[in-house]
Chain A
Amino acid sequence: MTTSAPVLPKLIGERVKRREDPRLVRGLGTYVDDLKVTGMRHVAFKRSDIAHGTIRKIDTSAAEKMDGVEAVFTGADIAKILAPMPIGTPFPSPPHYAVAADTVRYAGEPVALVVAADRYVAKDAADAIVVTYDPLPVVVDPEAAMEGKPGVIHKDFPNNLAVALVPSGTGVAPDFSKIDNTAVDKAFAEAEVKISQRMVNHRLVPNAMEPRGVLAHWEPGKETMTIWSSTQNPHILKTMIAAMNGLGQHQVRAIAPEVGGGFGAKINIYAEEYVCSVVSKKLGIPVKWIEDRTEAFVATTHGRDIIGYVDIAARKDGKVLGLKMRLIADIGAYNMLLTAAVPTLTMLMANGTYDIPAIRTTLTEVFTNKTPTDAYRGAGRPEATYFVERAMDMLARELNMDPAELRRKNFIKPNQFPYQTQMGAVYDSGDYEKTLDVALKAANWKGLIAERDKARKEGRLVGLGLAFYVEVCGLGPSSSLPTGGWEHGQVTIERDGRITATTGASPHGQGNETTFAQMLADQFSVPFEHVTILHGDTGIVKQGIGTFGSRSQAVAGTALHLAGAKVKKKMAQFAAAMLEASEDDIVFENGTIGVKGAPAKAKPFAAIAGYAYVPVPLPQGMEPGLSDEAFFEPANNTYPFGCHISMLEIDRETGEPTLVKLIAVDDAGNLINPLIVEGQIHGGLAQGIGQAMIEEAVYNDEGQLMTGSFMDYAMPRATDFPRFEMASTVTPTPVNPFGAKGVGEAGTLGSTPCIVSAAVDALSPFGVKHIDMMLRPEKLWKIINGGGRS
């Protein structure tokens, strides 16, 4: 270099502070509820307060008479302008009206709505609607439901079976034309040790801190619909809103403004989104609905709720010969966008990180009179991890083997990758033993054992837990998602040399504006501040799928990189013309574009950009401008993995558990921004620990959610956690050019089994073999006091 220009740092792999934060820490982010449109009215829903019944009478007269009320719609009114809601999975599904017209099937289901001048009036009016029901038997227990007891929820689904007994694993042909149990039966016949346990991975409430909200604005003159929503996937929203309003996709613009967390529960396209759109269109005015928290508890989809009957067959030396997993998913009252698909991911990941010769899983999905389930951080994979890891822990205990050594013995070996599982997955890359060793060292496993044993001698109830996980991430490919599994990116070099890029991955806390800018700044060798990432608005971002399944970096990041490469090539051609050099000799360096070996000739990046837009002379065969796009279709998913270790102490007097230590070692492949990655893991850990220790959606026999507000549902607080100890290993994926696997959901996988295993270890002096989550002190106290052995 001849100039003294500072050398730009490489940004990929650096802990770059987030681009998003300056606006957010000043309270200047714009979430849906912060938006106002002239003439906007407010919507409030009347919801069913019973879990199952037919609507005998609905009296809206008092509501209609109230000052400021513009309109009232019942289910019957809405049914005239809105068809039943579609789902995104290929399973058969009963009709689901956005607003119940004759039958309600869960407490919280909408039955009517009010449009009013302000929010307070809308709520008053909704409260003034009087609904009379004829109650029907309430189905709460999924295992009774499977026998049609105490009733049937949807008439064409006998025994409440939403998905009836799908088998998968060894000897099952992909089209189910052949199911051969020989290998599985043989494994269990030859076993020297067997483990058999029913486990419950209980229901949770996602509780993003921003409740959902939607603002729909039909403009009769332009015949266009703009819909702002707190959603993870504005492009899917656009597609669905167009279809359900009988509009072309060119007439709909969907915008996800600042979104205050999603965790999977904002993937689904909800009744309230459809209803606000049709009501806005019908009345010709913009309408807004903002969910209350207590409403969110019943109106937004729940997560998990799978019972697993898990059997393991093994030799005495610890080698696992066979695995059986019978899964029963309680999906609540209706199928939502991805409801039925979520438990299939539990099947897919049943064998975890182990090379198990014979596996049989079956899946039954059951309707109950509860809020429907759908994706929740991890979505099916934490359930798989929990079942297989708890079973492995029970096997280790039975064999009196160190849980780490039992895992080591059964791991898929590095030379087996890519590894075709019995379940149909192809694990891309892995080195599980390396990560196990790093975890044992980071945790000082031997030291922890000594510490535990010493505590035990003192009469304290201290336990250790270890769990390993592998997760399917980076969703696509398109064969695995009804929406398509690609992602889209567009890169534009502006006339002044600034870079504007759009991504179809619409974030809600993941920091894509930062990580994607890091990537592009490195790709073009320009300052980080010169790159802007736009997202979340289908009017600006041409195409996209959305943010879920830990896919942003692996899929959307790659799409942007590919778009960037196309633009960079064209820019190099302009530079070659301007500098009278060969395209192959053009180098991008420190905000300049120059010729290899001739640094004095280098021009500022902005100068080449300017030339591309005023191309005099226009190089032969070239078009002006610098903008291009790419769709990236991944060839496979990615499979990140890791090992979590915990230490737990239980108070002998009260049964209260305290998490003393949690060590997380995660391998997400190459990392773009380790600071953001750590934040993602922390957040996942908090939700996993929350599930293991304090969170639970509890229904009573009448189908009422007993933990239906923050008064009753234990949301984890800062005081519930120790400082997490973290380490990582790096096993890149061959599936994308960054070698990045995805990390958004990882923390929820290892944490639950490792904590429950620690609790079982702590209470092993009482002969306990398994404890179902969550670790309610009362449950632990009963075990300590001899009343609750399981």
Chain B
Amino acid sequence: MIPVAITVNGKVRTAHVEPRTLLVHFLREHLNLTGTHVGCDTSQCGACTVIVDGRSAKSCTIFAVQADGSTVTTIEGLAADGKLHPVQEGFWEEHGLQCGYCTPGMIMSAVNLLQDNPSPDEKQIREGIAGNFCRCTGYQHIVNAIQHAAKHGGGKAAR
């Protein structure tokens, strides 16, 4: 067992983990932050996307021990003071989700995308979320949701 200290959604969390523990399992099983989902075992689907030290990352591809000392934001940490993040608002406004399983990862990717490029065109949005699968929506309303967020300060919002 190896000790880790990871700042998650603003709080330092410490634990002893097996070296093979994936960051996603650390978040879900140790911290009960179950908003981060697991959709595959080959690092393709993006359901597990979180933000690690300011960049979006697939948390199924990182060992918890690798994230030792890092700062992680999960979907649960996105809304500030009970107010939805503009990207979350966008997904609600534009029906950017159906079953909601891909949604947390999709939102985290969109947050990262808008931070890099606060007013992306449709092609840039589609490319920006190409690492996230959604089986329900056909992506069109997700694109609309991200456009909505871009128009409402999604690129500048704190996270």
Say yes or no: A17 contacts B37, CB within 8 Å: no
Q: At the interface with chain A, which of B51-59, B63-71, B100-108, B151-159?
A: B100-108
Say yes or no: A683 contacts B103, CB within 8 Å: no
Residues of B within 8 A of A34 (CB): 28, 34
B1 within 8 A of A: no
Say yes or no: A209 contacts B39, CB within 8 Å: yes
Say yes or no: B18 contacts A120, CB within 8 Å: yes
B35 within 8 A of A: yes
How distant is the Cα of A679 from the Cα of B136 in the complex, in angstroms? 8
- Cross-interface CB contact of A293 among B45, B75, B88, B99, cutoff 8 Å: B45
Q: Which B residues between 67 and 121 are near A, CB-CB below 8 angstroms?
A: 74-76, 78-79, 84, 88, 91-93, 95, 97-104, 107
| Chain B 33-61: CB-based contact to A (< 8 A → 1; otherwise 0) | 11111111110110100000000000000
Q: What is the chain B residue whose CB lies nearest that of A261?
A: B99
Residues of B within 8 A of A207 (CB): 135
Given contacts A17-B95, A27-B34, contact A682 B140 (CB under 8 A): yes
Tell me which of B34, B138, B143 has the highest count of chain A C-beta atoms within 10 A of its own C-beta: B138
Say yes or no: B140 contacts A724, CB within 8 Å: yes
Given contacts A25-B84, A25-B107, A686-B138, contact A711 B100 (CB under 8 A): no
Residues of A within 8 A of B88 (CB): 25-26
Given contacts A717-B130, A723-B122, A747-B138, contact A210 B97 (CB under 8 A): no
Residues of B within 8 A of A675 (CB): 95
Residues of B within 8 A of A208 (CB): 99, 101, 135
Q: What is the chain A residue whose CB lies nearest that of B127?
A: A719
Say yes or no: B101 contacts A210, CB within 8 Å: yes
Main secondary structure of the interface of A (DSSP, over half): loop
Separation in Å of the B155 CB from the closest CB of chain A?
18
Tell me which of B28, B34, B75, B91 has the highest count of chain A C-beta atoms within 10 A of its own C-beta: B34
Separation in Å of the A220 CB from the closest CB of chain B?
27
Given contacts A293-B45, A679-B95, contact A721 B75 (CB under 8 A): no
| Chain B 127-149: CB-based contact to A (< 8 A → 1; otherwise 0) | 10110111111111111000000
B126 within 8 A of A: yes
Q: What is the chain B residue whose CB lies nearest that of A211?
A: B39
| Chain A 677-704: CB-based contact to B (< 8 A → 1; otherwise 0) | 0111011111100000000000000000
Q: What is the chain B residue whose CB lies nearest that of A711?
A: B42
A132 within 8 A of B: no
Say yes or no: B133 contacts A209, CB within 8 Å: yes
Say yes or no: A27 contacts B20, CB within 8 Å: no
Q: At the interface with chain B, which of A143-151, A357-365, A464-472, A507-515?
A: A507-515
- Cross-interface CB contact of A676 among B91, B95, B99, cutoff 8 Å: B95
Separation in Å of the A382 CB from the closest CB of chain B?
16
- Cross-interface CB contact of B41 among A33, A292, A510, A683, cutoff 8 Å: A292
Q: Which A residues between 708 and 735 are near B, CB-CB below 8 angstroms?
A: 709-711, 715, 717-719, 721, 723-724
| Chain A 10-43: CB-based contact to B (< 8 A → 1; otherwise 0) | 0000000110111011111111011000000000
Separation in Å of the B76 CB from the closest CB of chain A?
5
Residues of A within 8 A of B133 (CB): 209, 710, 715, 717
Separation in Å of the B92 CB from the closest CB of chain A?
4
Given contacts A27-B35, A209-B133, A718-B139, contact A511 B103 (CB under 8 A): no
Q: Which A residues between 653 and 687 are near B, CB-CB below 8 angstroms?
A: 675-676, 678-680, 682-687
Say yes or no: A210 contacts B37, CB within 8 Å: yes
Say yes or no: A120 contacts B20, CB within 8 Å: yes
Q: What is the chain B residue whose CB lies nearest that of A682?
A: B138
Separation in Å of the B84 CB from the closest CB of chain A?
7
Interface size class of B (residues with CB under 8 A): 35 or more
Given contacts A120-B20, A508-B99, contact A710 B40 (CB under 8 A): yes
Say yes or no: B97 contacts A682, CB within 8 Å: no
Tell me which of B20, B38, B39, B126 has the highest count of chain A C-beta atoms within 10 A of its own C-beta: B39
Residues of A within 8 A of B40 (CB): 293-294, 709-710
Tell me which of A20, A21, A211, A263 has the highest count of chain B C-beta atoms within 10 A of its own C-beta: A21
How distant is the Cα of A588 from the Cα of B92 in the complex, in angstroms? 31
Residues of A within 8 A of B126 (CB): 717-719, 721
Say yes or no: B34 contacts A683, CB within 8 Å: no
How distant is the Cα of A321 from the Cα of B127 in the complex, in angstroms? 49
How distant is the Cα of A210 from the Cα of B34 in the complex, in angstroms? 13
Separation in Å of the A320 CB from the closest CB of chain B?
33
Given contacts A683-B136, A718-B143, contact A511 B98 (CB under 8 A): yes
Report the count of interface residues on A (CB-CB < 8 A).
Answer: 55
Residues of A within 8 A of B140 (CB): 682, 721, 723-724
B6 within 8 A of A: no
B23 within 8 A of A: no
Residues of A within 8 A of B79 (CB): 26
Residues of A within 8 A of B8 (CB): none
B125 within 8 A of A: yes
How distant is the Cα of A294 from the Cα of B41 in the complex, in angstroms? 7
A53 within 8 A of B: no
Say yes or no: A209 contacts B130, CB within 8 Å: no
Tell me which of B47, B99, B139, B140 has the highest count of chain A C-beta atoms within 10 A of its own C-beta: B99
| Chain B 4-32: CB-based contact to A (< 8 A → 1; otherwise 0) | 00000000000000101000000010000
Q: What is the chain A residue whose CB lies nearest that of B129?
A: A718
Say yes or no: B139 contacts A686, CB within 8 Å: yes
Q: What is the chain B residue whose CB lies nearest that of A17?
A: B92
Given contacts A30-B34, A711-B44, A718-B130, contact A260 B92 (CB under 8 A): no
A645 within 8 A of B: no
Q: What is the chain A residue whose CB lies nearest that of B108?
A: A27
Q: What is the chain A residue whose CB lies nearest that of B89?
A: A25
Say yes or no: A25 contacts B98, CB within 8 Å: no
How distant is the Cα of A199 from the Cα of B34 in the complex, in angstroms? 45
Q: What is the chain A residue whose CB lies nearest that of B36?
A: A27
Residues of A within 8 A of B127 (CB): 718-719
Say yes or no: B42 contacts A31, CB within 8 Å: no
Say yes or no: A25 contacts B103, CB within 8 Å: yes
Say yes or no: A209 contacts B45, CB within 8 Å: yes
Say yes or no: A710 contacts B130, CB within 8 Å: no
Tell me which of A17, A29, A34, A211 has the highest count of chain B C-beta atoms within 10 A of its own C-beta: A29
Say yes or no: B34 contacts A209, CB within 8 Å: no
A258 within 8 A of B: yes
- Cross-interface CB contact of B138 among A18, A261, A263, A683, cutoff 8 Å: A683
Separation in Å of the A688 CB from the closest CB of chain B?
10
Say yes or no: B45 contacts A27, CB within 8 Å: no
Residues of A within 8 A of B102 (CB): 209, 260
A259 within 8 A of B: yes
Say yes or no: A260 contacts B75, CB within 8 Å: no
Q: What is the chain A residue whose CB lies nearest that of B102?
A: A209
Residues of B within 8 A of A721 (CB): 126, 138-140
- Cross-interface CB contact of A261 among B41, B92, B101, cutoff 8 Å: B101
Residues of A within 8 A of B47 (CB): 209
Say yes or no: A26 contacts B38, CB within 8 Å: no
Separation in Å of the A748 CB from the closest CB of chain B?
11
How distant is the Cα of A34 from the Cα of B127 in the complex, in angstroms? 30
How distant is the Cα of A123 from the Cα of B74 in the complex, in angstroms? 27
Say yes or no: A258 contacts B34, CB within 8 Å: no
Extra pairs beyond A21-B91, A208-B99, A718-B130 (10, CB < 8 Å): A17-B92, A25-B88, A25-B92, A207-B135, A209-B99, A260-B37, A683-B135, A715-B45, A723-B122, A724-B138
**Interface of A toward B, CB cutoff 8 Å:** 17-18, 20-22, 24-31, 33-34, 120, 207-211, 258-261, 263, 292-294, 508-511, 675-676, 678-680, 682-687, 709-711, 715, 717-719, 721, 723-724, 747
**Interface of B toward A, CB cutoff 8 Å:** 18, 20, 28, 33-42, 44-45, 47, 74-76, 78-79, 84, 88, 91-93, 95, 97-104, 107, 122, 125-127, 129-130, 132-143
19 inter-chain pairs at a CB distance below 8 angstroms, sorted by A residue, are A24-B103, A25-B92, A26-B78, A27-B76, A27-B104, A34-B28, A209-B135, A293-B39, A293-B41, A509-B99, A511-B98, A679-B141, A683-B135, A683-B136, A684-B138, A715-B45, A718-B129, A718-B134, A723-B122
